[in-house]
């Protein structure tokens, strides 16, 4: 059933309208949060506006409907047709099946269920690996913004080149925690 929803979503206009309103409601309730505000500020600091880190990644009523609702509906459908492909998806399953039948049974069920999702052989996406670092041109900047709450905080942003090994080991998180 889940696989059919991914393979053939209805993408009805009224459902998209409800989602727009839910996203806007979440945006409105969190916008005064200092963590959210600092994340938005970081996107503004990226000088290369084609870099993925420069994208306003949330959305509100204004940003989602700026080009008109019909344009948004068309964009959602286009996104689904261009990017939803079996070779870009992973399935994670947790089960209470007995160990002796777990792997073979799950493999059969999953293969049977999820084979309805088309494989367009799109390959892996490049999310900016190999590009210039997002804050490379902002290394010497000190940014101060007023907190919504009554406290002071200092944040440091470190630029690290992309590395699959570092991502797997999460060394940048370790370095940040140590600092």
| CATH fold for domain 2-130 | Cytochrome Bc1 Complex; Chain A, domain 1 (3.30.830)
**Distance in angstroms (rounded) separating the CA atoms of residues 177 and 148:** 25
**Distance in angstroms (rounded) separating the CA atoms of residues 126 and 84:** 15
Given a contact cutoff of 8 angstroms between Cβ atoms, the answer to whether 72 and 20 are in contact is: yes
pLDDT class of 70 with cuts at 50, 70, 90: very high
pLDDT digits (tens, 9 = 90+) for 97-148: 777 777 888 888 888 999 999 999 998 876 656 667 787 777 777 888 888 8
Arithmetic mean of pLDDT, 13-42: 89
Mark out the alpha helices in 31-140 (DSSP H runs): 34-45, 61-65, 69-83, 99-114
Domain ranges in the chain are: 2-130
Count of beta carbons in the 10 Å neighbourhood of residue 102: 13
Count of beta carbons in the 10 Å neighbourhood of residue 173: 10
pLDDT class of 169 with cuts at 50, 70, 90: low
Arithmetic mean of pLDDT, 161-172: 62
pLDDT digits (tens, 9 = 90+) for 142-166: 888 888 888 888 887 777 665 655 5
Given a contact cutoff of 8 angstroms between Cβ atoms, the answer to whether 53 and 42 are in contact is: yes
């Amino acid at each position: 059933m889940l696989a059919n929803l991914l393979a053939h979503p209805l993408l009805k206009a009224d459902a998209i309208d409800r989602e727009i309103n839910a996203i806007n409601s979440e945006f409105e309730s969190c916008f005064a949060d200092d963590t959210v505000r600092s994340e938005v500020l970081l996107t503004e600091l990226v000088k290369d506006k084609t870099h993925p880190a420069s994208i306003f990644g949330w959305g509100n009523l204004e940003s989602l409907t700026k080009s008109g609702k019909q344009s948004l509906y068309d964009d959602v459908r286009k996104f689904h047709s261009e990017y939803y492909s079996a070779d870009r998806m992973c399935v994670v399953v947790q089960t209470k099946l007995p160990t002796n039948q777990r792997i073979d049974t799950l493999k059969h069920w999953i293969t049977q269920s999820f084979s309805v999702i088309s494989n367009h052989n799109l390959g892996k996406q490049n999310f900016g690996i190999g590009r210039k670092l997002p804050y490379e041109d902002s290394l010497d900047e000190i940014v101060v913004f007023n907190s919504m709450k009554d406290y002071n905080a200092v944040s440091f942003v470190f630029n690290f080149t992309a590395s699959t090994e570092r991502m797997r080991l999460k060394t940048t998180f370790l370095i940040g925690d140590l600092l």
